[in-house]
């Protein structure tokens, strides 16, 4: 399996690939002795918003962490832009243009908003400038001197997304970005995702709230017991609502 080139070209967006931008086949992952993923198979095309739906504990977050190289034991195939990354370290994966925004947001309490925003290193050219970030999230500009954990939940989520947009990543993995947020903030997050897609970003989204996902997603995969059990396009959402209610228990 070829190693990754640390000096890969730093483009603003990932170079065109033959086939899917991200391809996951037979991905398995473990936390210690606990076998979490049992043969995940899915693909994401460049410029898409693809959502992983499923109940708590289904393996959605583990899938994102496995792609990002944050799980110690994993097997199978993960290819990004035609490069095998299953054995790559997280820093090498980041240099290819993949970024992960965790559900817990990871805001540092001892740092203010500006310090939190500037903390991640720029790993590739093409990241958004502060001016572009403040255009997306004007609330952050007003709160630059505020301690990170004194922000509202919605502002913390905006800050968590804003940080990865600075890095030069073009493939964004967002884990439950609407969890615990007020409806007006959820709407703003939706507008941001739509704007990022329009500007050429590719997004893999983990969500339990399929009503929110339906406003931004092109396609869905349903995860259950660590594997994909169904998948469909957003245009087929209404035809699959009964199955979704069963899958998600809503």
pLDDT higher than 50, residue 165:
yes
Query: Is residue 84 domain-resident?
Result: yes
What tokens were used for 87? 């054995």
Q: CATH code at 36?
A: 3.40.50.300
Nearest by Cα to 217 from 76, 52, 6: 52
Q: How far apart are CA 200 and CA 25, in angstroms?
A: 25
pLDDT higher than 80, residue 172:
yes
Mean pLDDT of all residues in the chain?
Answer: 89
Lowest-confidence pick of 9-13, 18-22, 29-33, 100-104:
9-13
pLDDT higher than 80, residue 110:
yes
Instruction: Give the per-residue pLDDT at 250.
Output: 60
Query: Is residue 148 domain-resident?
Result: yes
Query: Is residue 151 domain-resident?
Result: yes
Q: How far apart are CA 135 and CA 86, in angstroms?
A: 36
Query: Is residue 12 domain-resident?
Result: no
Query: Is residue 41 domain-resident?
Result: yes
Instruction: Give the per-residue pLDDT at 5.
Output: 35
Query: Is residue 66 domain-resident?
Result: yes
Q: How far apart are CA 159 and CA 139, in angstroms?
A: 9
Q: How far apart are CA 21 and CA 171, in angstroms?
A: 9
Contacts of 131 (CB under 8 A, 6+ apart): none
Instruction: Give the per-residue pLDDT at 16.
Output: 45
Instruction: Give the per-residue pLDDT at 6.
Output: 31
Percent of the chain with pLDDT over 70: 92
Range of the domain at 221: 22-248
The total domain count for the chain is 1
* pLDDT, tens digit (0-9, with 9 covering 90-100), for 209-231: 888 999 999 999 999 999 999 99
* pLDDT, tens digit (0-9, with 9 covering 90-100), for 54-109: 999 999 999 999 999 999 899 999 999 999 999 999 999 999 999 999 988 888 88
If you count them, how many residues does the chain have?
250
Q: What angle in degrees, to the nearest 10, is found between the helix axes of 183-198 and 153-166?
A: 10
Instruction: Give the per-residue pLDDT at 10.
Output: 36
């Amino acid at each position: 399996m070829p190693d990754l080139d640390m000096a890969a070209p730093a483009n603003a967006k990932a170079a065109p690939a033959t086939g899917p931008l991200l391809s996951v086949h037979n991905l398995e992952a473990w936390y210690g002795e606990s076998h979490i993923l049992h043969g995940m198979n899915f693909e994401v095309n460049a410029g898409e918003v693809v959502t992983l739906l499923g109940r708590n504990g289904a393996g959605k977050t583990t899938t994102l962490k496995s792609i990002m190289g944050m799980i110690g034991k994993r097997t199978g195939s993960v290819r990004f832009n035609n490069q095998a990354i299953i054995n790559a370290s997280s820093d090498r994966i980041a240099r290819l243009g993949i970024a992960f925004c965790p559900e817990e947001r990871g805001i540092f309490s001892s740092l203010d908003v500006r310090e939190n925003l500037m903390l991640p290193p720029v790993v590739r050219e093409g990241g958004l400038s502060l001016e572009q970030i403040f255009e997306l999230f004007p609330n952050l500009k007003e709160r630059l001197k505020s301690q990170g954990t004194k922000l509202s939940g919605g502002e913390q989520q905006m800050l968590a997304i804003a940080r990865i947009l600075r890095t030069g990543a073009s493939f964004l993995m967002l884990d439950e970005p609407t969890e615990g947020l007020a409806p007006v903030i959820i709407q703003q997050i939706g507008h941001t995702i739509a704007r990022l897609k329009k500007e050429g970003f590719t997004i893999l989204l983990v969500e339990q709230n399929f009503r929110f996902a339906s406003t931004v997603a092109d396609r869905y995969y349903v995860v259950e017991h660590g594997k994909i059990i169904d998948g469909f396009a957003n245009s087929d959402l209404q035809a699959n609502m009964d199955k979704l209610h069963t899958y998600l228990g809503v």
